[in-house]
Amino acid sequence: MTVLVTGGSGFVGVHCVLRLLQAGHPVRTTVRSPARAQEVRAMLRTAGVQAGDALSFAHADLTADDGWADAAKGCEHVLHVASPFPSRVPGHEDELIVPARDGTRKGAAGTRVGAAVRRGGDPRQCREPDRARARESRR
């Protein structure tokens, strides 16, 4: 079960990637710049994990549509962590809210949660089948 983690180069994101890999899940994570992929692998090595083929990267930016569908392809779950997190207080709240809100739609776009949202449904409805499937796979 490949898990998509958006923003794997970030503080929270790389911890999510680390814990998922340690739990045995293949992970794909998004980065804005290809150069950050090596930095993510280096951070994981520092934490004692050689990710190898268990970790793959996709390139996507929350402010653009490109790359999100490919990033989500084949992933059953998404941890959407990527978000602008500026070190200074933004001049206007929309500097944070707009990319975070629109980015959440893009980050979830290729997933079942995104599909439920597009249909006008409640994304929480996606939880129960996931739980049922998880219970089934543990048997």
Ligand X SMILES: NC(=O)c1ccc[n+]([C@@H]2O[C@H](COP(=O)([O-])OP(=O)(O)OC[C@H]3O[C@@H](n4cnc5c(N)ncnc54)[C@H](OP(=O)(O)O)[C@@H]3O)[C@@H](O)[C@H]2O)c1
Q: How far is the CB of 69 from ligand X (least distance, A)?
A: 15
Q: Which residues bind ligand X (CB under 6 A)?
A: 7, 9-13, 32-33, 36, 61-63, 81-85, 99
Using the minimum distance from each CB to ligand X, give the nearer residue, 32 or 112. 32
Task: Round to the nearest angstrom and report the end-to-end CA distance of the chain.
Answer: 16
- Give the count of beta carbons closer than 10 Å to the beta carbon of residue 95: 13
Closer by beta carbon to ligand X, 87 or else 137: 87
Residue closer to ligand X by CB (options 36, 113) is 36
**Number of other CB atoms surrounding residue 54 within 10 Å:** 16
| Cβ burial, residue 8 (10 Å; 0-12/13-18/19+) | buried
Least spacing, CB of residue 70 vs ligand X, in Å: 14
Tokens of 16: 């999510």
- Taking CB positions, which residue lies at the least distance from ligand X? 10
